[in-house]
């Protein structure tokens, strides 16, 4: 399973102080990644824009071809809240903040996670691109 976040983390406005903005965005990414490990669905949701969408690549099975599946904020937050999605660890690596003017930032990086979704292993090591809102 590979995921890409398309509309992302809700953060405060970009201030124009490049280093401070980058530091704030990186701290927000790390706090957001830790929230599902802590099983704190409300904190996780607080870092996500209402329009958050994640595209997940589902590998082929005997009954279905490989395909992309869109996961909305509400669906993912509720899966963490109910314990359907359980994360033992989420580690972020090689994070880079790309500031574009005074109102757009893109965070790219890699992550690894261990855990389960619906009782199935969802461990992965994909890259990601996120546009903080």
- CA–CA distance from 1 to each of 5, 104, 123, 132 (Å)? 13, 28, 8, 23
Q: How confident is the model at residue 14 (pLDDT cuts 50, 70, 90)?
A: low
Interval 42-92: pLDDT, tens = 999 999 999 999 988 888 999 999 999 999 999 999 999 999 999 999 999
Q: Output DSSP code: residue 61.
A: -
Q: Are strands 104-117 and 120-121 parallel, antiparallel or unpaired?
A: antiparallel
What is 2-130's CATH number? 3.10.450.50
Contacts of 37 (CB under 8 A, 6+ apart): 87, 88, 89, 90
Please determine, for residue 7, whether its predicted confidence score (pLDDT) is greater than 50.
Answer: no
Give the other-Cβ count within 10 Å of 59's Cβ. Answer: 10
Interval 29-46: pLDDT, tens = 999 999 999 999 999 999
Question: How is the chain split into domains, by residue range?
Answer: 2-130
């Amino acid at each position: 399973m590979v995921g890409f976040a398309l509309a992302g983390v809700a953060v405060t406005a970009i201030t124009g102080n490049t280093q401070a903005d980058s530091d704030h965005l990186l701290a927000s990414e790390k706090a957001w990644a830790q929230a599902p490990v802590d099983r704190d669905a409300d904190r996780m949701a607080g870092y996500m824009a209402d329009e958050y969408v994640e595209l997940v690549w589902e590998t082929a099975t005997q009954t279905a071809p490989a395909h992309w599946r869109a996961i909305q904020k509400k669906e993912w937050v509720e899966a963490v809240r109910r314990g359907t999605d359980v994360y033992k660890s989420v580690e972020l690596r090689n994070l880079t903040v790309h500031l574009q003017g005074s109102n757009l930032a893109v965070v790219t990086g890699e992550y690894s996670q261990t855990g389960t979704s619906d009782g199935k292993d969802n461990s992965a090591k994909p890259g990601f691109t996120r546009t903080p809102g």
